[in-house]
Structure 1
Amino acid sequence: MEQKFEALNQIIDILNDKEQEVIIKRYGFDDGYPKTLQFVGENMYITRERVRQIQKKALQILRRVAMQTDTKEIVEIAEEIIKDNNHVITEKKLIELLKLRGYESHSIPSFRLCLDLSEKVETIKKTQHHNKGYILKDIIKSETAKDTIKKAIEELKREKASICKNKFENNIFEQVNNTPKESILSILELSTDIKQLENKIGLKNWRCVNPKSIKDKSILILNSMKKPLHFKDIFDLIHEKKYDHKQVTIEAVHNELIRYEDFVLVGRGLYALKDWGYKPGTVKDVIREILKEKGPLNKKEIVKEVLKKRDVQVGTISLNLQKTPEFLRVGRAIYKLDEK
């Protein structure tokens, strides 16, 4: 494969010095990092518009030659990855997949350039609302992709909450024309305003999909797992999910769970969400609430009801029944609440 990259370098040599400098800087052949028009212009003492013109002319020259040489294989590899990603992909994801295939960082600028030379691929430029990406234009048009993103944002604003990915995909498919259903979620990865989780999708500025604090992250994790978790497990999942680059300690996580009423201690170190119907309190408090609501119950029924609300040992429930004077035994293993 190295000979393919060398062939591309030889093609670049046919450009004049100014064209070569623009291509090298714009695609990151010098240090791996593509430079902006503004940066290149300032370095070459020309306007950003002049840089754009030089780049456009250089690409026209390279396009005529590249597809007739070994560099065509570089283009085909990148096009295949885009096709496998439902015909659209962000540049970030493309680079990740190329590296997974064993391509070194120094080869990435060659792929960037070859994609701009491809007649099958259209580049989506990075803007405030779009990530840089690539689409196979025979399947999806850039305007169609942008319209899909616009409708998705409008739909999310109407929902006002994160929504199941599959349901959302179906909703958007009904609203757009000429967009393959399997490409919708990949298209939405191009949006800087939309955030996708494992099963949910929402707007990036919503804390329910893009958590900022330890509290937000803990709520998101508990909702995704749909069951009470030990504070150590919540800590581990915060690190595993890598929501951001902030470092947190297990003590900080535990303190936040204790601090906020959103979380209810339901067992030794186990926390659930108050929104799930859990109420704060000890096992004694839970038994009191059950007997107040349901009246006299036998011990087996009390245990069953308590275990719906707390993850504790049966012995702990029995001990609370025996040692608490307000729980009156009124029959064989039957208890009622002493209203006095």
Structure 2
Amino acid sequence: MKNTQPKSLNKGFFLEALEKVIFDVPSRSQEIIKSRYGIAGDSPKTLEEIGMDYKITRERVRQIIKEVFRKIESKEKDDSFRQAGRKIEFTINQNSGIIKEEDILHKLAGRSTKEQNAVRFLLECLENVVSKEIEGELEKSYHTRNFDFSEWQEIKNAAKEILEIEKKVIIDEDFYGRFSKKVDSADRNKFFNFINVSREIEKNSFGKWGLSHWGEINPKVAWQRAYVILKETGKPLHFRDIAQIIDKYKLNKRKTHPQTIHNELIKNDQFVLVGRGVYALSKWGYKKGTVKDVLEEILKENERPMERDEILSRISKIRQVKKSTILINLNNFFEKVEKDKYTVRN
């Protein structure tokens, strides 16, 4: 049967629905619910904190909350409660029957903390909605009671196997393309909705999928963040620019210090200093050493005198350096033969 979306709901609808379903419970119980779920304007409080506020045990707080839930269960025909439930269940069903907590809160409540906390409360009141979290495998999510977890695991494991074989980050189209070759009648939306709740598979800030423990997905240290930035931009960058882009894409919880990036990259063989403060990835073919060292290596490899323009072209592919600097090094340290040709001095 096709889902029918409820009519558009006003901002603050879930908070209003919560107020309506608890209006006839004792005032102290209302205050405890609001404190527990952060509806009163503060952050959600622990059972112990609430107990201290009301001079009762944390177990008694738990009992009061359970009593409120029991009373709400009898209100399944209440219009506000039914509308809230329909909206929540519709959102979950539109997401293939399962959705991360942070995603459903954002979709239903936007950035309003109070509204998000009201949704959290109502989610726990709905008989047909279940919360689930599996350490190391499944993010805290909500799903419908009849959700098929065996199908979820089958799809998630197939996706994980693709990444283990590829051993590199992958874009949406390639990821789904490989999956559709493995699984008959593969539904694109279901595939991405299912892997989105996995703890083992994640999408990075540049829209590419990989295993959660990979450095390109969750870079833990400075050089890993710099590696991701250089790989995604595809060109050498100054260490100050690398630091700025790291912060732009929020790859670091704290502000990135440019000097830290410079200190990490200068000692790491995966990076090459190719200009004044400018770094490239070693695998791009850039060479370490001074301009003189690089020129000498090029000329020795060639085993014959090389024309100036040919030298300039070759060195530009492996170092970022001014033309004048190259010419000064050629004239000072190498032998000029014929017109505009150079070789290594004997």
TM-score tier (shorter): 0.7 to 0.9
Match of 1:300 in 2: 309
Post-superposition CA distance 1:213-252 (Å, at most 9, x none): 1111111211121111111111112222223424432111
Return the letter of the residue paired with 1:258: I
Shift of 1:310: 1.3
CA contact (8 A) 1:135 1:142 kept: no
Aligned residue among 41, 44, 47 for 1:33:
44
Shift of 1:13: 4.1
Q: Could you say if the C-alpha distance between residues 151 and 137 of structure 1 is closer, same or farther in structure 2, counting changes exceeding 3 Å?
A: farther
TM-score relative to the length of structure 2: 0.77
Q: Could you say if the C-alpha distance between residues 34 and 148 of structure 1 is closer, same or farther in structure 2, counting changes exceeding 3 Å?
A: farther
What CA distance in whole angstroms lies between the structure 2 residues aligned with 1:29 and 1:73? Answer: 20
Match of 1:65 in 2: 77
TM-score relative to the length of structure 1: 0.78
Match of 1:10 in 2: 20
Q: Could you say if the C-alpha distance between residues 115 and 243 of structure 1 is closer, same or farther in structure 2, counting changes exceeding 3 Å?
A: same
CA contact (8 A) 1:91 1:134 kept: yes
Q: Could you say if the C-alpha distance between residues 4 and 230 of structure 1 is closer, same or farther in structure 2, counting changes exceeding 3 Å?
A: closer
Moved more, 122-131 or 72-81: 72-81
Q: Could you say if the C-alpha distance between residues 97 and 118 of structure 1 is closer, same or farther in structure 2, counting changes exceeding 3 Å?
A: same
Post-superposition CA distance 1:159-212 (Å, at most 9, x none): 344334432222233444676213423322212222211242222222232111
CA contact (8 A) 2:130 2:145 kept: no
Post-superposition CA distance 1:34-54 (Å, at most 9, x none): 879xx99x72259x9x89986
Q: Which runs of 5+ in 2 are unaligned?
A: 1-9, 52-56
Match of 1:214 in 2: 222
What CA distance in whole angstroms lies between the structure 2 residues aligned with 1:9 and 1:80? Answer: 22
Return the letter of the residue paired with 1:332: K
Moved more, 235-244 or 179-188: 179-188
Post-superposition CA distance 1:280-329 (Å, at most 9, x none): 012222221221222322111111111111122211111111111xx222
Aligned pairs for 1:19-168 (under 5 A) are: 28-29=38-39, 31=42, 33=44, 43-45=58-60, 57=70, 60-62=73-75, 64-66=76-78, 69-75=79-85, 77-78=87-88, 88-98=98-108, 100=110, 104-115=112-123, 122-129=129-136, 130-135=138-143, 141-168=148-175
Q: Could you say if the C-alpha distance between residues 231 and 80 of structure 1 is closer, same or farther in structure 2, counting changes exceeding 3 Å?
A: farther
Post-superposition CA distance 1:229-282 (Å, at most 9, x none): 111111112222223424432111111122222211112221001122222012
CA contact (8 A) 2:14 2:118 kept: no
Q: Could you say if the C-alpha distance between residues 3 and 237 of structure 1 is closer, same or farther in structure 2, counting changes exceeding 3 Å?
A: closer
What CA distance in whole angstroms lies between the structure 2 residues aligned with 1:52 and 1:4? Answer: 19
Other structure's SS at 1:125 match: strand
- Give the RMSD, CA atoms, in angstroms: 3.7
- Percent identity among equivalent residues? 29
Shift of 1:151: 2.6
Aligned pairs for 1:124-273 (under 5 A) are: 124-129=131-136, 130-135=138-143, 141-176=148-183, 180-197=187-204, 198-273=206-281
Return the letter of the residue paired with 2:308: K
Other structure's SS at 1:300 match: helix
What CA distance in whole angstroms lies between the structure 2 residues aligned with 1:13 and 1:261? Answer: 65
CA contact (8 A) 2:98 2:142 kept: yes
Other structure's SS at 2:218 match: coil
Match of 2:7 in 1: none
CA contact (8 A) 1:123 1:132 kept: no
What CA distance in whole angstroms lies between the structure 2 residues aligned with 1:143 and 1:55? Answer: 34
Q: Could you say if the C-alpha distance between residues 158 and 19 of structure 1 is closer, same or farther in structure 2, counting changes exceeding 3 Å?
A: farther
CA contact (8 A) 1:173 1:184 kept: no
What CA distance in whole angstroms lies between the structure 2 residues aligned with 1:14 and 1:262? Answer: 66
Q: Could you say if the C-alpha distance between residues 164 and 126 of structure 1 is closer, same or farther in structure 2, counting changes exceeding 3 Å?
A: same
Aligned residue among 299, 308, 318 for 1:309:
318
Q: Could you say if the C-alpha distance between residues 4 and 253 of structure 1 is closer, same or farther in structure 2, counting changes exceeding 3 Å?
A: closer
What CA distance in whole angstroms lies between the structure 1 residues aligned with 2:35 and 2:131? Answer: 19
Q: Could you say if the C-alpha distance between residues 289 and 123 of structure 1 is closer, same or farther in structure 2, counting changes exceeding 3 Å?
A: farther
Q: Could you say if the C-alpha distance between residues 207 and 247 of structure 1 is closer, same or farther in structure 2, counting changes exceeding 3 Å?
A: same
Return the letter of the residue paired with 2:195: L
Return the letter of the residue paired with 1:298: E
